Structure 1
């Protein structure tokens, strides 16, 4: 994506199933878990660079001993900052008593973060303030070990107001209106309730309070707590939590919107937002790693027992397709194949637009994230060339000459790297004129490889959201190469609707496809439709969310995809551009062919996987119409 979009956070969970001394003996360090947590987080740093945090819990500590440690950072390199802080705990020990670094029992009893249960989080702030208080993990503290709760997640809830009202009804008064706090307190309430029920039950049996504490720890029903907590949640989420006694869970939303993967053996339990992070950090094979099923939770009890249990009836699986197109790392084998397939499926559209003139066309890609799709496009082009060669050889087999064979074999795609990310816009440039001039130079280009006014330039982008970088920078720069035509190709379909499940795309006015549709309505004297949709959206707010429909779809219905693409082309083409410019988008049907197991396409289709999505899109349109720049949830 040539313009940065902030998106989902990342979670990293580790549970050591053996005593710490086992890891010292086998791997040569008591800090095996911490070292692996660092790797697991670093391999997911693409998922959050606004902040990070870790928490650890020590099992079976004596009363009065500290057993929960947490540290969060919003430093530029937050993960490194956190683990440098942790490492400094061990520096004086290493320098003064190095033999103690091999003493697992001593380290556990005397140094923070030396625990068996570890949780890490990488944060991308979609709307919240970028402060330490907004960094996960969140901590709910209590003197009762089994009432403490550590929580971190990758999620957004669409119905925070409703959930907040439920907390009021339970007698709580949360300190702020945020989905993270709301989720923490909701789980915390039912954790408290489960504790109290167990306490009352065991008390009736005449058991002492000290014995009851141990029995509660053994009998806590995590599935039941999650089932009661998540009953009314509407959103996309992968949430990990640890209870103070060491019980832990990783839960995934019923539609499987947000990703969550896990692996376990007799030594360790691992969970993360991305499969390659687990593969790389622990050298585990692709087919050994499982995906948490929608509506299920991976539950790890204090005694190390692992199970995957349903806490809420799964909906139709609508896993986020944007994960596959852009957000997740392409080192995942399936994602890599899907991105290549997206490029291959664009081939026929592109060939038609260049009139099959491969000889006079240069193919390239814009941001690095589009590179894999570009490889797929090249494979598609090579397949087309091979088919054409076969046909021509058959047609001319009676009159083949050396010259003709040489000419036929010389046809191949002209592949070049044209746009190179060069500088970042500095915040001290404050005047609009200066700022726009700086933006125009964010990318640099390679000169001397285009035949002036003869070649067509095809540049692949993985998605186009606002189109501002294309207009202010990329097209201006590559137009200096003097191509006859510039074709910008998006491997994703037109982004038309806001997200409300974790990605920073919540305002209608930010989408160039929406801007194009509004312009077309005005140009064709159909402005009354805008008011009609506005009134329908307003009226829908009084309905139960289960009865709401996405009225914003009507804005796009009068136009074909090609008409909107043509209008987008006008919008993103800078004044003074000499080359002809055209924008091509992936089709929705081809997206589903490329990513068959990830049908969550609401950004493109407007088909939201939860009722709250329809409420959000209607509210986003109302906000746009009223000039309100706030988010819609």
Structure 2
């Protein structure tokens, strides 16, 4: 999306099911697992670039020897940084014993991250600071192997304060800033109790059944225990994605199906989806089972996964993004008055390219229909030149804008920053007939509208088109997210600002007061989680009215070109992405009670001028 938002995280889990000597014989390397972990993380690097971390557990270590190791990095290229350091450790071993790669036992004893259980994580920080201490995995150590745990996940929780209260723990300053810290403390609390009852045979399923019902949020989490047990679990609504693959050699789990397919070169049907409320539990002996931990609730898998976040190399996601663009074609045709001769289609940014293909496909279907009707209407009254001209008519497509990835808006003064932002994209001159051509540009979604106003619209206007139409493959983003996407402040959303502007224009500011009063009433009665009051802000207006106001807001004062904004409808979103129906950021229909509490708090923060998260 042109307004870049931080989002999601990526999880990578590998359990080797054979001795290290097997991988040396079959795959030519003892580091087979580490190599695959690196690939699995790199193939998901789109999911987190604030930091990365890995953890490894070694099986059957002698008493007194370390069995749980962890490394984290917040370097500019954190995955490369971590595995470079692992490579340095191996190189140092080879310096002293050149043939050590041929001795799996020695390798395991001397290389810290050569473990049978591996956990990797990519971080985009939506909570806490971007210090390395906030990078996953987090660990809890204990003298008893089964009470040691490394935990990582893709999630946000909205009830961390309550979680600490449930286990009678007063969090420190660090714990207060990390929902993973809260989750880790709760799971470890029940793990210790279970291990005390059943030393060395603690039942992971029972631990998860006691801990996870307490979590309000969307999550996929992976955990490694010091006794060799491990798990990957998904929330009851399936908000966050999780997939797994199992054969005789490995058990693998990740946030994206395509990452597993590419890393292990397997077919789509070989990679399974971990269903909502289920856990993949792997015992120390390498056996596994899929267990239902929570009763599955209404499936509300995040639709942004399909629109933007997940890599488009997944064949289902690719088709869904094509469908998103295709659904918009009828509305766009109407907005250009079906004048394809004088309309140019393009996309910004590159991640919108697949939706662009779908939009163009819809245009081509219309154009082909017109061609056929015209040719049939001619009867025998045509010449070869006339027929050739008709057949060769094409949808006009241009690469209008190119992002200058090397440009950084490093100057902090507002005036200078805005000047720099204008030049993040370069335009392609000579593509537009001045005053005649309409420019249609598709984006994944429009969040804040800042880049559109300060860069894209201003830049496109330099080509002097007759009209600029900005098309969003997602509906209007109206409400905060609290399940893993960094969209927590109402004032950031261009759709919210448009609704506020309309209320003020129409002397309806009393609606703001009424919403505020209702939220405070709910707050006083501890019922903030029962109702999304902020919906009342949008209720007086049609979607079109808000879209028209957004078009005004993203048009710089000195730009005279007409600007129009077209959004995807909720109905067409669900038709395009039928398995990912989570749409709370568009509709305000939150899957858990914590969502209502967050949106209501976000509104109070907005009115009071507090630039903080709603959770």
TM over 0.5: yes
- Specify the SS of the correspondent of 1:541: helix
Gaps of 5+ in 1: 199-215
TM-score, scaled relative to structure 2: 0.98
Give CA-to-partner distance per residue, 1:14-38, whole Å, 9 cap, x none. Answer: 0000111110111111100011100
**For the residues of structure 2 that align with 1:64 and 1:427, how far apart are their CA atoms?**
52
| 1:12 aligned onto 2:12 | yes
Question: What is the CA distance between 1:626 and its match in structure 2?
Answer: 1.1
Question: What is the CA distance between 1:545 and its match in structure 2?
Answer: 5.3
| 1:511 aligned onto 2:510 | no
TM-score, scaled relative to structure 1: 0.95
Tell me: CA distance 1:74–1:186, structure 2 relative to 1, closer, same or farther (3 Å): same
Counterpart in 2 of 1:481?
463
**For the residues of structure 2 that align with 1:354 and 1:444, how far apart are their CA atoms?**
25
- Specify the SS of the correspondent of 1:88: helix
Give CA-to-partner distance per residue, 1:555-593, whole Å, 9 cap, x none. Answer: 111111110000000000011213211111111111011
Query: Superposed, which structure 2 residues align to 1:529-540 within 5 Å?
Result: 529-540=511-522
Question: What is the CA distance between 1:426 and its match in structure 2?
Answer: 3.7
Question: What is the CA distance between 1:401 and its match in structure 2?
Answer: 3.1
**For the residues of structure 1 that align with 2:196 and 2:170, how far apart are their CA atoms?**
17
- Specify the SS of the correspondent of 2:213: coil
Question: What is the CA distance between 1:536 and its match in structure 2?
Answer: 1.1
- Specify the SS of the correspondent of 1:251: strand
| 1:337 aligned onto 2:336 | no
Question: What is the CA distance between 1:433 and its match in structure 2?
Answer: 1.4
Aligned residues: 613
Find 1:228's aligned residue among 210, 226, 237: 210
**For the residues of structure 1 that align with 2:585 and 2:529, how far apart are their CA atoms?**
20
Task: Say if 1:472 and 1:574, in contact at 8 Å, map to a contact too.
Answer: yes
Task: Say if 1:545 and 1:612, in contact at 8 Å, map to a contact too.
Answer: no
Tell me: CA distance 1:547–1:64, structure 2 relative to 1, closer, same or farther (3 Å): closer
Task: Say if 1:425 and 1:435, in contact at 8 Å, map to a contact too.
Answer: no
| 1:451 aligned onto 2:433 | yes
- Specify the SS of the correspondent of 2:89: coil
Give CA-to-partner distance per residue, 1:69-95, whole Å, 9 cap, x none. Answer: 111011000001000111111112323
Question: What is the CA distance between 1:546 and its match in structure 2?
Answer: 8.6
Find 2:369's aligned residue among 352, 370, 387: 387
| 1:251 aligned onto 2:233 | yes
Find 2:251's aligned residue among 256, 266, 269: 269
Tell me: CA distance 1:94–1:464, structure 2 relative to 1, closer, same or farther (3 Å): same
Further displaced range: 426-435 or 253-262: 426-435
| 1:47 aligned onto 2:29 | no
Query: Superposed, which structure 2 residues align to 1:91-170 within 5 Å?
Result: 91-168=91-168
Counterpart in 2 of 1:399?
381
Find 2:330's aligned residue among 339, 342, 348: 348
Find 1:422's aligned residue among 404, 420, 423: 404
| 1:585 aligned onto 2:567 | yes
| 1:601 aligned onto 2:583 | yes
Task: Say if 1:147 and 1:192, in contact at 8 Å, map to a contact too.
Answer: yes
Counterpart in 1 of 2:175?
176
What is the RMSD computed on CA atoms of the aligned residues? 1.3
**For the residues of structure 2 that align with 1:399 and 1:529, how far apart are their CA atoms?**
64
Counterpart in 2 of 1:90?
90
| 1:28 aligned onto 2:28 | yes
Give CA-to-partner distance per residue, 1:401-423, whole Å, 9 cap, x none. Answer: 33432332232110000111015
**For the residues of structure 1 that align with 2:111 and 2:591, how far apart are their CA atoms?**
46
**For the residues of structure 2 that align with 1:50 and 1:151, how far apart are their CA atoms?**
18
**For the residues of structure 2 that align with 1:493 and 1:582, how far apart are their CA atoms?**
15
**For the residues of structure 2 that align with 1:428 and 1:332, how far apart are their CA atoms?**
35
Counterpart in 2 of 1:557?
539
**For the residues of structure 1 that align with 2:233 and 2:36, how far apart are their CA atoms?**
21
**For the residues of structure 1 that align with 2:303 and 2:98, how far apart are their CA atoms?**
50
**For the residues of structure 1 that align with 2:224 and 2:346, how far apart are their CA atoms?**
47
Gaps of 5+ in 2: none
**For the residues of structure 2 that align with 1:257 and 1:626, how far apart are their CA atoms?**
31
| 1:462 aligned onto 2:444 | yes
